[in-house]
Structure 1
Amino acid sequence: MGRMTETAPPPQSHHPIPITSNNYIILPSYYPPPYFSRSRAICRRVRSFSLSILLPISLLALALFFFWPSQPDLHLSRLRLEHISFSTHKSSSSILPSLSIDVSLDLTVKVRNKDFLSLDYGSILVSIGYRGRQLGYVTSAGGHIRARGSSYVNATLQLDGVEILHDVLYLIEDMARGSIPFDTVTEIQGQLGLLFFDFPIQTKVSCEVYVNTDNQTIVRQDCYPE
């Protein structure tokens, strides 16, 4: 029979078995020097002061951008010739005969308020002239236009027996051609209130109107703001 032999247990090591774990580095608490804290406090005060100054200025600039008054838009939306006629008579001061003109114009003026505040206008004046000389005018009553709104004003310009003292030869030539150029000027005056101030408003638009004397119609109309 065989013999069983006892095997001695392996000798135990005197060193502990290493255990794998995460390594942490613990640093001591850091306290910034006093001058660094004072600098940060000063920076915070400067930023707060800058915001307290710049914010009201920005809001004021934005309010002025939206509410600062601007000139209204003026547009002659409709112009119709009702009647035109000429008459001649002898003049004692000139060898040429004098010419008198009868004109009736029916027009509609569109006024657009571009501001965010309402507009009060005192009157709308429409005048008619020939070769830079005024023949007559008509004035309409004032009115009120809401903010960012528009208003249409109707007017009739009536001239009866207006004598043409100058440019008679030019007028005779234009009548022979069958087309007479007239000048019309439309002007609006008013005021716009902002806070405790009233700002005067004045807008003018000029038109060159060509009238056909044969069929009593307007053949062309060129307008431009002034």
Structure 2
Amino acid sequence: MGSGSTHDHVAYAPLPTENVIVLPVYYQPDLRRWRRRRNLSRCLCTAAAIASLLAVLVFIFYPSDPYLQLARIHLNHIRVNSSPQPTLDLSFSLVVKVHNRDFFSLNYDSLDVSIGYRGRELGSVRSHGGRVRARGSSYVNASLKLNGLEVIHDVIYLIEDLIKGVIPFDTVTMVKGELGVLFFEIPLKAKVSCEVYVNTSNQTIVRQDCYPE
């Protein structure tokens, strides 16, 4: 019996390659908390929208004082009297524009206009009340006659202005009234001071500088 060395070879099959998938931890959402956050966000957005709307409405409808403008001043008559002392006779025709900037009608009780020359008041006039529609304008006519004004201190300046053909006047216009808002009446008033330069040849306003007060 012959003996020989034999080597037994054992074949190993390679292990299959496996893919490992790592899944994240999944938590069950809290629906109640999510709903509360959603409702809170909706409430905040609604409150912000309402606040913005109220701010816009207050800005638009908040009462504002009427706008005044001396639309026209006509020097009807001017006369310088030298005897027995220097005096001045003047006659004016005025047109004042009252503009209502609000969204409600304006009822004004009276409109006062005073006229001065070089810092000295010459006289004043008061017109009757009226009504101005919402966002509308009204023109008020007034006449002022001044006779026997003493101009001893200003006679030289007056003669110079007459020679130049332009006389500067100081005007102060004031109006008082009420703004009708639903069932309420809100008191309003406006006052404006103007420096008006009147051409004596054609009786027109050359220039006016106004300052609301």
Question: Shorter-chain TM-score: which interval?
Answer: 0.7 to 0.9
**Contact 1:184–1:209 (CA under 8 A) maintained in structure 2:** no
Corresponding residue for 1:33?
A: 28
User: How far apart are the structure 1 equivalents of 2:56 and 2:142?
Assistant: 39
User: How far apart are the structure 1 equivalents of 2:109 and 2:42?
Assistant: 48
Unaligned runs of at least 5 residues, structure 1: 1-30, 91-97
CA RMSD, aligned part only? 2.6
Residue identity in the other structure for 2:206: R
Residue identity in the other structure for 1:103: L
Alignment CA distance shift 1:168-1:84 (3 Å) = closer
**Contact 2:195–2:208 (CA under 8 A) maintained in structure 1:** yes
Q: 1:223 aligns with which of 179, 196, 209?
A: 209
- Give how far 1:159 is off: 0.9
4+ aligned runs moved over 6 Å, structure 1? none
SS of the residue corresponding to residue 84 of structure 1 reads: strand
Corresponding residue for 1:47?
A: 41
Corresponding residue for 1:82?
A: 76
Alignment length, in residue pairs? 186
User: How far apart are the structure 2 equivalents of 1:201 and 1:82?
Assistant: 30
**Contact 1:72–1:203 (CA under 8 A) maintained in structure 2:** no
Corresponding residue for 2:169?
A: 182
User: How far apart are the structure 2 equivalents of 1:216 and 1:99?
Assistant: 25
Determine whether 1:198 maps to 2:193.
no
Q: How do 1:82-121 residues align onto structure 2 when only pairs under 5 Å count?
A: 82-90=76-84, 98-121=85-108
**Contact 2:178–2:185 (CA under 8 A) maintained in structure 1:** no
Unaligned runs of at least 5 residues, structure 2: 1-25
Corresponding residue for 1:144?
A: 131
Corresponding residue for 1:6?
A: none
How many percent of aligned residue pairs carry the same amino acid?
A: 44
- Give how far 1:147 is off: 0.6
Residue identity in the other structure for 1:81: L
User: How far apart are the structure 2 equivalents of 1:222 and 1:175?
Assistant: 18
TM-score (norm 2): 0.74
